[in-house]
A and B are shown apart, each in its own frame.
Chain A
Amino acid sequence: MTTSKRFKRQIQLALIVFTLCNLNPPVVFADGFVFQWSSSGEQLALWRKTDDSPESCEVLDVTVFELVDDGTRLRKLNTTTLLSGSKPLEVHVSPCGRFIVTMDEWTGAGVTDKALVVYDAVRKEVTSFRLEQFLDNAIIERLPRHGFLTGVKWRDWGQRPTSFDQFSISDMTFYPSSAQKVESYIAKPKSDSSKQIPFVEIDLIERAAKVVPAKSTVPIILEREIASHSKYHWSAVINSSVSAPLNLPSRLEGSADKESTVRMVFTLESVTGDYKLTKRD
């Protein structure tokens, strides 16, 4: 069996049983993949890992789908093969599906040659950065220690609906940190008040990263309108009274009772690479 066929079969198996339930973890997917919905609920990024073991963190590639036809079809946009041996801590997909940004690795935060990697799926270009390539030594020396990995914390977005919100599609930029978080480091000193994180702006077109004055990236009108008009969450009835959001695409709106399971079956359309919803119960 060729690698391509094996991959297709794995994806097919992955999505044949597309099980969603409203308990923790509320969304259960097939092994060996990480499913990441966009904040608008219109896109799905599928990370393919080397295996499904708990310690597995090497990601081979990321396929981006968009949800079309009233949620009955996942249309494949592209597949991006990550740099060999990539173990990204975070994977971010731009709302247009063209760019993928990975930050830090499970083997170390800010201390590997893949501290920041920008993939352009259209041009098939990859640019990887070490911290020293876009941060001065003076800034690096003031970075706080990472919370749970070896290395340093050079970015902090804080609370976010999903990672997709860190993109500005109006000027094709990506922000690893929020202005609010950067300022909070200054206003509210951590245990070591000399520690700070920079506000970095990544130009996706130019594939360049630089420190700029902190600015709010929130009022991105188009993204916000999409989010505000989308039927973002399913409502799960927990304890018969409290609603809890589920990480589901907008067009699959619905509700589920406690301990119920919503099962959706997608089948692969081999020619296009798309998936079609064939069953939901």
Chain B
Amino acid sequence: MLVAKKLLLILICAVCSWFTSTQLSAQVSPGTGQGGFESNGFDFENYDIYSMLSVNGQFSLSQIPNDDPTLFTDGISNLGDALLLVSRTTTNGVRDVIVVVSGFGPFPGVPNNQSPVVAQELADLLEQEGIESQVVIIDVLWGEPNDRIDQVITDIACEYPDQQIVWIAFGQGGGFTLELEGDNNQGPFPDAGGNLPNPPNQNNPNGPPVVVGSFNGVEIVEVLDGLGVDISGSNDAGEYICDSTCYKLYRCDAEGSIDLGIFFHVPESPTPGEVSVFTSGIIEVLFGPHSDPDGDGRDNIEDSFPFDPSRN
């Protein structure tokens, strides 16, 4: 009975009650015994694997690296009472979240802005992960971030009313930087159209002086740093179009028109390797099994999309 229990691969449909119907799905592996996973051709790469131990009638979850070779050579007998396979995709292969990835066009002194390059690379990686994304290039014009962000959000909300919206914005700056807040201040710098901001030089005359991002900035910086990205947190997005974008996104996040807004500055000449580590790190920290976007300090499956802080 015990062996049978250990070998049982459970489709815990009840677990699905932890999620909404369109969210992550938990499935049983079609394998039926030791060493049976791989031979069945099951695609584990698309699943997060949790070992379940029964303690006094309650399950305890611990995650198993799905790229651990011993998982398949040693079999599953020592992995716990049961395995929970949490699909990283919905049944149609797409998470119920749309990630808008944005960069900027050229601006004074910068004919070739690196931010669209980074944005496209992240979008490509998201696609490989089965996460739908959309690339948006924002013109470096005063007022444009407000208009463009509103337009994109409205379009997505109309077309996909049930999907969550995550907006990851990139701007070219002095280095890899996570902007922790947006300031309601426009510096006297001409935009790409040769126009200075208009009085009262604010992103939103009726808005608060500062809007802080809702994410766990300290952890995101720590994780990316640990992955090899030379990154720091910043409270100064620069009072230019980047800051306007940052301010707008963090307001949208706070007001609920998007589910997460986050802004990164990137160096003016990053190497392809740096971009690769950075973009894959973003996916890891925001969408990976160890992500903690709700900032509760715990590594748990509730941190997977879609975010639902009420579960924590």
Q: Say whether B198 contacts A90, CB under 8 Å.
A: no
Q: Does B70 contact A (CB under 8 A)?
A: no
User: Total number of A-B contacts with CB less than 8 angstroms?
Assistant: 140
Interface residues of B (CB under 8 A from A): 105-111, 140-144, 146-147, 171-175, 177, 180, 184-185, 187-196, 198-202, 205, 209, 232-240, 242-243, 265, 268
Q: Say whether B199 contacts A162, CB under 8 Å.
A: yes
Q: Does A163 contact B (CB under 8 A)?
A: yes
Q: Say whether B192 contacts A24, CB under 8 Å.
A: no
Q: Say whether A161 contacts B200, CB under 8 Å.
A: yes
How far is the CB of B201 from the nearest CB of chain A, in Å? Answer: 6
Contact segment of A3-11, A31-39, A167-175, A263-271: A31-39
Q: Which of B110, B175, B195, B242 contacts A25 (CB 8 A)?
A: B195
Q: Say whether B201 contacts A162, CB under 8 Å.
A: yes
- B242 — which chain A residues lie within 8 A by C-beta? 147-148
CA separation between A162 and B197, bound complex, in Å?
A: 9
Given contacts A24-B144, A144-B236, A245-B200, contact A49 B194 (CB under 8 A): yes
Secondary structure of the A contact surface, majority rule: loop
Could you jot down 14 A-B contacts, CB within 8 Å? A54-B192, A55-B108, A57-B108, A57-B190, A87-B108, A90-B187, A147-B265, A150-B174, A159-B209, A163-B188, A192-B232, A245-B198, A245-B199, A245-B200
Secondary structure of the B contact surface, majority rule: loop
CA separation between A217 and B234, bound complex, in Å?
A: 28
CA separation between A33 and B196, bound complex, in Å?
A: 11
Given contacts A34-B190, A87-B109, contact A191 B233 (CB under 8 A): yes
Q: Say whether A153 contacts B200, CB under 8 Å.
A: no
Given contacts A162-B188, A162-B201, contact A191 B109 (CB under 8 A): no
Q: Does A56 contact B (CB under 8 A)?
A: yes
Q: Which of B189, B209, B235, B268 contacts A90 (CB 8 A)?
A: B189
Q: Which of A24, A34, A233 contacts B194 (CB 8 A)?
A: A34
Q: Which of A120-160 contact B (CB under 8 A)?
A: 144-151, 153, 158-160
